Amino acid sequence: MLQQTARGLRPPYLLAKSTLMTDKTDLSKRHIRSYVLRQGRVSPAQQRACDTLLPRFGIPYAARQIDLDHAFGRAAPKIMEIGFGMGESTAAIALEHPENDYLALEVHTPGVGNLLKLIDSRNIPNIRIIRHDAVEVLRDMICDGTLDGVHIFFPDPWHKARHNKRRLIQPPFIAQLVQKLKPGAYIHVATDWQDYAGQILAVLSAEPLLENTAENYAPRPGYRPLTKFEQRGIRLGHGVWDMVFRLMV
């Protein structure tokens, strides 16, 4: 149900506007995008899913903090996934772990539409989607100390040296992400690009509030399914590196 406010209508899970979210023209709010909006072809089924299902399973971006329990309709552990691609792994994890709620962030319409189709066809109740930039969602919508885990699977490696600054995993982003975690919550990053794996491991290790759950790289946790692309890479001898860090209690 929408609530009437001085500025109009807003969903009840949107909390009062934070004093930190003020002038959108403030240059301090700008940041380097970690993605390029390559939409690709949106199939009619994907577009139809966005049109009909996103109002039900989506959370619109707004510069207001969100009550996640209200958005999911229950109190349960909250796991955020940043950049879910076409959503197959997201759907599989959510089905396998109905005790958790999964907040999935993605900017590309084909992937959003595909995950919505999976939610509908497999009757998955514990996923909500925000189609917006993850940095701005974290900054504007997620309350401190609310997340039980974060999944970042195969972020864009930006393999050209001159583009490395666009990589998502940088110290300022991790420092921001850590603020949103509950004590004992985890960050799980996986990449198939060795150079990026080294950078990610260095960045996570340098964050004083995080501790590595492994000596260096972790074995793939059982909850992360192998993608078709990953299986093909393994057959060809390509590496995949998982890193799982926890917020110290």
Separation in Å, CA 177 to CA 82, 91, 144, 170? 11, 23, 9, 11
The two three-digit tokens of residue 60, written as one number: 């619109």
The two three-digit tokens of residue 3, written as one number: 């609530």
Which residue intervals of 65-179 are DSSP H helices? 68-72, 88-96, 109-121, 134-140, 171-179
DSSP string covering 5-31: ETTEEE-TTB-PPPTTS--TT-GGG--
**Could you tell me which residues are beta bridge partners of residue 190?**
153, 242
d(CA 148, CA 163): 31
Active-site residue 144, yes or no? Answer: no
Which residue intervals of 19-163 are DSSP H helices? 44-57, 68-72, 88-96, 109-121, 134-140
If we measure between CA atoms, which residue out of 224, 222, 206, 217 comes closest to residue 243?
A: 217
Per the residue annotation, which of 120, 148, 156, 242 is the catalytic one?
156
Catalytic residues: 156
